[in-house]
Every structure is written in structure tokens, then in C-alpha cells.
Amino acid sequence: MANEKITLAHGAGGKMSAALMRDVILPAFDNPVLDVLHDGAKLATSGRLAFTTDSYVVRPLFFAGGNIGKIAVCGTVNDLAMTGAVPRYLSCGLILEEGFPVEDLSRIVRTMRETADAAGVAIVTGDTKVVEHGKADGIFINTAGVGELIAGIDIAPQNVRPGMKVLLSGCIGDHAAAILAGRHGIEIPESLTSDCAPLAGLTQAVLKAAPHTAVLRDPTRGGVAAVLNEIAAAAQVGVLIDEDALPIREAVRGICDMLGFDPLDLANEGKCIAFVPAAEADAALAAMRAHPYGKDACIIGETTEEAPGQVGLRTALGGIRIVDLPLGSLVPRIC
Amino acid sequence: MANEKITLAHGAGGKMSAALMRDVILPAFDNPVLDVLHDGAKLATSGRLAFTTDSYVVRPLFFAGGNIGKIAVCGTVNDLAMTGAVPRYLSCGLILEEGFPVEDLSRIVRTMRETADAAGVAIVTGDTKVVEHGKADGIFINTAGVGELIAGIDIAPQNVRPGMKVLLSGCIGDHAAAILAGRHGIEIPESLTSDCAPLAGLTQAVLKAAPHTAVLRDPTRGGVAAVLNEIAAAAQVGVLIDEDALPIREAVRGICDMLGFDPLDLANEGKCIAFVPAAEADAALAAMRAHPYGKDACIIGETTEEAPGQVGLRTALGGIRIVDLPLGSLVPRIC
């Protein structure tokens, strides 16, 4: 089918639907739990579970460092990881636009499989719908995920106290910058690609080193600014970060200057923010840095009793500027 | 926000996104497990689990007997129920088109909540994306679901043997006929509405009465014809059904005659097909009929050693016609 295009018949539940499953989708996801004879998968799980979902509408579909399939797996794996869970199972809901090339679909589902393998999860159930040409935008993907919560770990914003350290696992804004460069035709160095990556290994290492970690969060839509504001508001602490400590690539700064963005607002797809008791902060930092996805990790700030609910940025010049939640549509369809 | 329209900013992760959550979506789904401070929900489950997903792209969004939100809950609840599980938790992934009326969104999420309550499930996690005007079609909904498999029940097509009875829980084609009537402006009697309903109560009653039930399946896309063909192929049995036994409303027959459809191919959203050992068939039938969603249940046929993998329809005149899997796009976007 590689040279074909998706038709409405591929989504109608008849022979064409069955052929698309058999020839394209099931071979990519093939695993022992994916039971083609059921509309639901039977899971082998133990302990308490975490459950999450995200839909992915990123444009362009293929970009430096990944494609929509890679994000669709990483994003949901990461949401599970940030709850303090070991991700185990994913679902995959595809909405395809009539006319979408089967070849592109094949590439995307193969990437999903490779990323799932790398993240240690299995795609065990799914669904495919087709809508008329002009009623979608190529492909939208929803993944939901089930993970096993790690015993003894309690991740909750309410656990954040003043005096905790705020850790960041690496450079910010790479994903958004790669997408923006792709959209606007801006030339970027080869070293700047989306940071899209599955973080469950990194979060498990952090939680082993720092079991009293209060919060893990991946700064996707809304960026670091949104995560810090949410946690400050939920925990009613102040969050004070150092501008000098923020790891930002020159190329990302350049794109921000060119397009008028603040790197703190930019989406990341392979970064983790951790709120860790001061006593465990060095251990958590060492665990991040020992992981391939956390080599550039650093402590970017701390929580304070002052200014509860607010996020402050201590600038290079020594002043403090308030970091607000971005208002609206900075970069639409970033994930 | 009731008079507003969805903008790209509502999906960008900033203040507008937060307001949409706070004012429209979270109040509708509010429950103890839905933790607004997490991207993932923590579940209380026991035993073995079933996991499933479906995306919903039905047009029109509002139709006789329901709307896309009702289908989005019923469809996933029913997929869980058909695996022999008690549905427990749902996720909700929304993809909204820029310009979609917030009022319609409010109606849809309220319907999702009401339907979830009726089905005994909680919507515990979710995600909302917005795409540009013209890049989607109002609203697409994905739901994934987690259910607890009922101990001692083993639903699997491989368990189907020759000599089993095939039960159907009521009239076929109501959903597709209601949708088709809506699309083509065909007048239908008030009594003909979509059969969209959550079937977990009915399937649990059937499994209690007939614990050796081999297969439960809801004939959605592809209709009864698709389900019977899939089971015949998977179990390598013949399936022989009686035309006279098939419960079909006159109004549905009329729409089929007018538009050239076979009722066996039409989608249902509140019907269940069960393959039950002959010894338990009467008990299963009684359990169906005792349930509000199974009042018109009947035995429509049986499995045979002859013609493995094939579905035959014994016509009113005594002949047998082969019922094939529909080829393609009978009724696009039926669910």
C-alpha cells in the first residue's frame, strides 16, 4: 500500500479498514498484549496506577529531531513519568485526513514503535478514523498511557515547601525553536534539534537518588514559565530562579530575539523540572547529569516563603522581574 | 465564556487555556480522582485491567438521541464492557477547531459527564488542543478507558465453538439511520433515535447469567456484518443467522431502501452481540430482556461446523445468502 493515499473507506470499518490495520499499523506496533481480536487490551499490572492522555497536532509533522509520532509517544510517556510512575502501556488513536500519504503514516507509526521500545512501553490498543479532505490536517494522534506508580514516592505540588531547590534537566526551548525554524524557514545549526525524548529513565534515576522529590514536571506548552507558575500557585510558595543559571543555547536565543519570544515560554519535549528538598538536591542533580538526557542539568533556583504564588527571575544585573504565565497563543500547534 | 468562540490561545498552555479548563471543562468533569494539579490521574484499581481507546469524529455533532460527547463516552465504555470488564476510568482528549462555539463545547462536556455518571465511570484526565479554522471540523474527541476484568470470565473469539447461540440485544441500524436522516434531511418518526447507550450494566447481567459466554461485541462501524465476519474468521466456525429473527424497525428499513444500504452493515452504538453456549443461551437472553437496553433482545442464529470463516443468512424464502464484510466507506464519520 506504500504508494497509496488514505481514503474514507480506510476508516469505515470494512475490508479497507482491515487492510490498513493488517498491512500498516499492526505490523508496526506488534507485541504480545496487542490483541487484534479485541477492541480492548488486557493488561498485566501491579500496584497503583497512573493514567494520562494527550492529543498531538504539531505542525510540521516532520521536523529536526523527530516527527509527530515521536512526540505522541514521548509526551504521554513523560506525563506518566512526571507523576512518579513507570510507564507501561500506551493506546494510539489516529485521525487521518483523506488523501494523507500511506507512506508518511508508515514512517510515523514506525517511529512510534521505535520510541515506545526505547521508552520501555508497549502500544497495546488503538483506533483509526478518517475524515474528508479539508476536515483535518494530515494526521492527529492521541495517545493515552497507563503506568505503575513507584511505591514510596509521593509526587504532588502540595508537597512543595519553601527552601526546596528547583532543578532543570537541560537546555530550554530546543523543541519550540526547531519547530519555529522549520515553519519560518530559518536556518539553524545542525546541533539544534527538538529535544523530544522519553524521560522515564531519567525520572526513575532522580527518584531513586532523591526519594523526597516533591514535584516532577515536563515544561511543554507554556514552557518553564507555565510550570513554575502552576507549582507556585498550587503550593503557595514563591519561586525564585536565576537568569544566569538558565541553560539556553545561543541558537535558541537568536530565534527568540528574531521572533520576539521569551525562552521561558517556549515548549520543551525532553526536559524535566524537579522540586527537591535541599538535602537531596545534589544527589538529584548528579542523577540527572549521569543520564544521557540530563547532561546539562543544573539547579536554576529555589522556593521561598516570600511572594507566595509568584515566580521571580533574578536578572544578571541583580534585579528581580516577575515571570507571569503566558497569556495565550505564543506558538500554536507546538505539540 | 458562554458566548465566546474557541481561539488558538485556548490551546496554547497559557492563561486562556487555564481559563477554559477552569470555567468549562473541569466543572463538568469534577470528581475526586480528576487532579487538576497533575497531567496524570492516580487510579484506585484492583485485579486485571482492560484498556481501550477510540476517537470520535461523528457528523452532525448533535443528532436525534445524542451528540458526539454521548458517543465518546458510550463507545469506550462499551469497548471495555465487551472485553468482560467493569468500566472504571476514562480520559478525554479534545481537538477543537478555532471558532468553535464555547456554548456547544459546554453542552458536549456536560453530556459526557451525565453519560459517564450513568455508566458508572469517572473522567479522570484529559487534554485540549486547538487547531486553526479549517484544519479540523468543529470538535474531535478521543476517549481512552480503563476497566477491571471480571474474575472468572474469559472473553475471546478463540473460545467460540460450533453449536453456540448468537444473541443480539435489540433492533439494528438505529444509530446509523438517525445520523443518515440528519445528514440527508429525511423525516423520521420520533421513535427513531440513535441507540447510543452505555452497555456495561447489560453485559454484566449477561455474564452473570451466562458465565461461559465466549464473545461479546458491539456492532459499531461495519455493523452486525463486520462483527459476525470477524468472529467467524477468528474462531474458524460458520455463523448462520435467520433473516426472520433480525429485529429491524420499519423506519430503518425505509431509510435503507431509500439510500441503498443493508441494515446488517449499519452502525449501532447501543447494541451487543453475544456468542453463548447453547446451555446458557436462554439465561443470557432473559438477562438481556430484563435490562432496559435489551428489551428487544433475541437469538438471531448459531455457530456451525460447516462453512468455517463464513457468515450465512437464511432468508425468509429458505435460501442462504453469504454475508460479506462491507468493502469500504458505507457511512463515513458515523462515530
Q: What is the pLDDT of residues B141-199, one digit of tens each?
A: 999 999 999 999 999 999 999 999 999 999 999 999 999 998 988 888 888 999 999 99
Question: Is A146's CB within 8 Å of B51's CB?
Answer: yes
DSSP helix/strand/coil, A216: strand
What average pLDDT does the segment B89-114 reach?
97
Nearest CA in chain A to B265: A14
Which of B49, B82, B89 minimises the CB distance to A39? B82
Rounded Cα distance, A250 and A247, in Å: 10
Q: Say what the pLDDT of residue A37 is.
A: 66
A110 interface with B at CB cutoff 8 Å: no
Grid cell listed for B277: 453456549
Name the CATH superfamily for A157-322: PurM-like C-terminal domain (3.90.650.10)
Q: Say what the pLDDT of residue A42 is.
A: 87
Query: Domains of chain A: which residue ranges?
Result: 8-149, 157-322
Residues above pLDDT 70, as percent of chain A: 98
Q: A283: distance to nearest CA of chain B, Å?
A: 25
Q: Say what the pLDDT of residue B33 is.
A: 83
Rounded Cα distance, A84 and A205, in Å: 11
Contact assessment for residue A150 and residue A209, using Cβ atoms and an 8 Å cutoff: no
Element (H, E) at B321: strand B320-322
HSE-up (13 A, CA, CB side) for residue A78 = 25
DSSP string, B161-190: -TT-EEEE-S-SSHHHHHHHHHHHT----T
* pLDDT beyond 60 at B329: no
Residues 6+ apart with CB under 8 A from A258: A186
What pairs with residue B148 in β-bridges? B49, B86
Rounded Cα distance, B54 and B70, in Å: 13
CA-to-CA separations, B140 to B11, B75, B94, B335, in angstroms, rounded: 14, 14, 6, 10
DSSP helix/strand/coil, A240: strand
Q: Say what the pLDDT of residue A11 is.
A: 87
Q: Which residue has the cell 488558538?
A: B8
**∠ CA B294-B296-B299, rounded to 5°:** 95
What pairs with residue B274 in β-bridges? B167, B216
Q: Do domains A8-149 and A157-322 have the same CATH topology?
A: no
HSE-up (13 A, CA, CB side) for residue A25 = 25
Residues of chain A with pLDDT under 70: 36-37, 328-329
Grid cell listed for A323: 515571570
Contact assessment for residue A269 and residue A216, using Cβ atoms and an 8 Å cutoff: no
Rounded Cα distance, B225 and B265, in Å: 5
Q: According to DSSP H, which parts of chain B are helical?
A: 15-20, 26-29, 68-82, 102-119, 174-184, 200-209, 223-235, 250-259, 278-289
Nearest CA in chain B to A219: B13
Amino acid at B301: G
Closest CA to A222 of A285, A159, A175, A186: A175
Name the CATH superfamily for A8-149: PurM-like, N-terminal domain (3.30.1330.10)
Contact assessment for residue A329 and residue B12, using Cβ atoms and an 8 Å cutoff: yes
Q: What is the mean pLDDT of chain B?
A: 94
Rounded Cα distance, B148 and B140, in Å: 27
What average pLDDT does the segment B319-325 reach?
93
Rounded Cα distance, A182 and B9, in Å: 21
Amino acid at A293: Y
Question: Is B16's CB within 8 Å of A41's CB?
Answer: no
R_g (Cα) of chain B, nearest Å: 21
Which of B18, B39, B326 minimises the CB distance to A14? B326
DSSP helix/strand/coil, A275: strand
A135 interface with B at CB cutoff 8 Å: yes
Which of A6, A26, A123, A129 to substitute to test the interface with B, most B CBs within 10 Å? A129
Closest CA to B80 of B149, B168, B141, B140: B149
Residues 6+ apart with CB under 8 A from B30: none
Express each pLDDT in B275-302 by its tens digit: 999 999 999 999 999 999 999 999 999 9
What pairs with residue A216 in β-bridges? A274
Which of B15, B20, B39 to substitute to test the interface with A, most A CBs within 10 Å? B39
Q: Say what the pLDDT of residue A66 is.
A: 96
Buried-exposed string A107-128: b where 16+ CB fall within 10 A, e elsewhere: bbbbbbbebbebbebbbbbbbb
ipTM of the complex: 0.94
Contact assessment for residue A266 and residue A331, using Cβ atoms and an 8 Å cutoff: yes
Question: Is B53's CB within 8 Å of A234's CB?
Answer: no
* pLDDT beyond 70 at B322: yes
Please count the residue pairs, one from chain A and one from chain B, whose beta carbons lie less than 8 angstroms apart.
278
HSE-up (13 A, CA, CB side) for residue B252 = 25
Question: Is A9's CB within 8 Å of B328's CB?
Answer: yes
Which of B17, B49, B142 minimises the CB distance to A55? B142
Rounded Cα distance, A332 and A57, in Å: 9
Q: Which residue has the higher pLDDT, B84 or B316?
A: B84
Rounded Cα distance, B140 and A11, in Å: 15
Rounded Cα distance, B32 and B24, in Å: 17
